[in-house]
Amino acid sequence: AFSAGSRLLRGRGGHVVIRFALGGCTNRPFFRIVAANSRRPRDGRYLEQLGCLDPLPNAFGEKVAGLNLERLRYWLGCGAQLSRPAEKLLGLAGFLPLHPMTVTAAERLRRRRQREQQPEAAPADGSARPGTGT
């Protein structure tokens, strides 16, 4: 098992990555925030677990995540890369600046909601006024 694992790490390439490892059961995902070599499988051996994330909201409607900021700083100082969802999560947590796409997605959602409200308001006015006029 030891030699099979080190076959990945032979030769050049590979870097430390902080990403989500999926666990849990069917229809019940659970993510572990993990520092691992980029060439390992997603749920394979990792260097260190830096936190966890429950993507399903709990009884109070919250999605709970736990982070080990001390070790995160250490790994980032050692030169670890971040996956996109990990960046977004850390941005929302406040440890890193907000990811641009988080802000962009929020803006798009707001614009779409406004567009949906305006057609609802306009036909409502249009249908109300002829009703009152006649």
69 binds other proteins (CB under 8 A): no
Q: For residues 71 and 50, is the Cβ–Cβ distance under 8 A? A: yes
73 binds other proteins (CB under 8 A): yes
Q: Per-residue string for binding with other proteins, 23-62, x by CB under 8 A?
A: ---------------------------------xx---xx
Amino acid letter, 124: A
- Please report how close the Cβ of residue 134 comes to other proteins at its closest, in angstroms: 32
97-116 binders of other proteins (CB under 8 A): 97-101, 103-104
Q: Which residue number, 8 or 102, has a Cβ lying nearer to other proteins? A: 102
Binding site residues, other proteins, CB under 8 A: 56-57, 61-63, 73-74, 76-79, 96-101, 103-104
